[in-house]
C-alpha cells in the first residue's frame, strides 16, 4: 500500500516552547533551533501552517486569578501570541524561508488579518504561515485555534509539538507512574471525562 504524501501540516507550538532557558518571554537560541527544524519540514516540500500560543507571556486564566478581568486577560493572552508569531517569523526569515503572520485580531500595521483564502494562497506558494491571536475570541485556547485552522486550511496532519512524547494518564514530568497511551480515540478520551491541560502539553486521562 502506498502512503499518502503529507502535503500540508498545521503545527501547534505552545508559548512555552519558546521559553528555552528563559523564565519569561522568548529565548533567541530556541527560536533559531525551532526555525531550523521548521525549515527541514519545508525542505520536504511540505506546506507548513503554524498556530502559536502565548503562555510564555500571558494567559487569561492566570491573569484573572490575580484580579484582572477575564476577557481583558484573554485579550492580553491573544496579543502575546502575536508577539511570539512576530519573533518566529523573524527567525524563519533568517533561515531563508518566506513567512507570513496572520492575526485573528486586527493589528494590521504589524501583520495581516486572517483571511482563509489568503492563508491558503500563502501556503500554496510555500510561505510558512503563522496564525496568531488564537481564534480571536476570549475563553478559548490556541489548541482550539489549531484544530480550527487545521480544518479550515484542509491540513493533512495536525501536530501538537510538546515537551513530552504523547498522551499520558498524568503529568509525566511530575509523576513517574504516568501511563503513556500509544494511541487513544477521541471517544475514549471524552467519555472518561479527560481534562486536557494544553499548557503542559500532556493530557490527563482518567482510567
- Residues in 8-67 at the binding interface with ligand UDP, rule: CB under 6 A: 14-16, 53-55, 59-61
Do 135 and 148 form a contact (C-beta atoms < 8 A)?
A: yes
Cα–Cα nearest to 37, from 159, 121, 190: 159
Does 145 bind ligand UDP (CB under 6 A)? Our answer is yes
Size of the site for ligand UDP (CB under 6 A): 27
Q: Are 37 and 186 in contact (CB under 8 A)?
A: no
Could you give the CA distance from residue 10 to residue 131 in angstroms, rounded to a whole number? 10
The yes or no reply on residue 198 touching ligand UDP (CB under 6 A) is yes
Give the residue with the Cβ less far from ligand UDP, 81 or 129. 81
- Sole residue written with cell 484573572: 64
Tell me if 103 contacts ligand UDP by CB under 6 A.
no
Which of 46, 137, 147, 170 binds ligand UDP (CB under 6 A)? It is 137
Helix, strand, coil in percent for the chain, rounding step 5: 40, 20, 45
Least separation in angstroms between residue 104's CB and ligand UDP is 7
- Write out the residues near ligand UDP by the rule CB under 6 A: 14-16, 53-55, 59-61, 73-74, 77-78, 80-81, 134-135, 137-138, 140-145, 198-199
Amino acid at each position: 500500500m502506498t502512503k499518502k504524501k503529507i502535503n500540508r501540516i498545521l503545527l501547534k507550538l505552545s508559548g512555552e516552547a519558546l521559553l528555552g532557558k528563559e523564565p519569561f518571554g522568548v529565548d533567541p537560541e530556541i527560536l533559531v533551533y525551532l526555525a531550523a527544524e521548521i525549515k527541514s519540514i519545508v525542505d520536504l516540500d511540505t506546506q507548513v501552517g503554524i498556530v502559536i500560543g502565548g503562555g510564555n507571556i500571558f494567559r487569561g486564566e492566570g491573569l484573572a486569578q490575580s484580579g484582572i478581568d477575564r476577557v481583558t486577560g484573554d485579550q492580553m493572552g491573544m496579543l502575546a501570541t502575536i508577539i511570539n508569531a512576530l519573533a518566529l517569523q523573524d527567525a524563519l526569515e533568517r533561515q531563508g524561508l518566506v513567512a507570513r503572520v496572520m492575526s485573528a485580531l486586527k493589528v494590521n500595521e504589524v501583520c495581516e488579518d486572517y483571511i482563509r483564502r489568503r492563508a491558503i494562497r500563502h501556503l500554496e506558494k510555500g510561505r510558512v504561515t503563522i496564525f496568531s491571536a488564537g481564534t480571536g475570541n476570549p475563553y478559548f485556547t490556541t489548541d482550539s485555534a489549531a484544530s480550527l485552522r487545521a480544518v479550515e486550511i484542509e491540513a493533512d496532519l495536525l501536530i501538537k509539538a510538546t515537551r513530552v512524547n504523547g498522551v499520558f494518564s498524568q503529568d509525566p514530568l511530575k509523576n513517574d507512574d504516568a501511563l503513556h497511551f500509544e494511541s487513544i480515540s477521541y471517544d475514549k478520551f471524552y467519555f472518561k471525562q479527560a481534562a486536557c491541560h494544553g499548557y503542559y502539553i500532556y493530557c490527563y486521562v482518567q482510567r
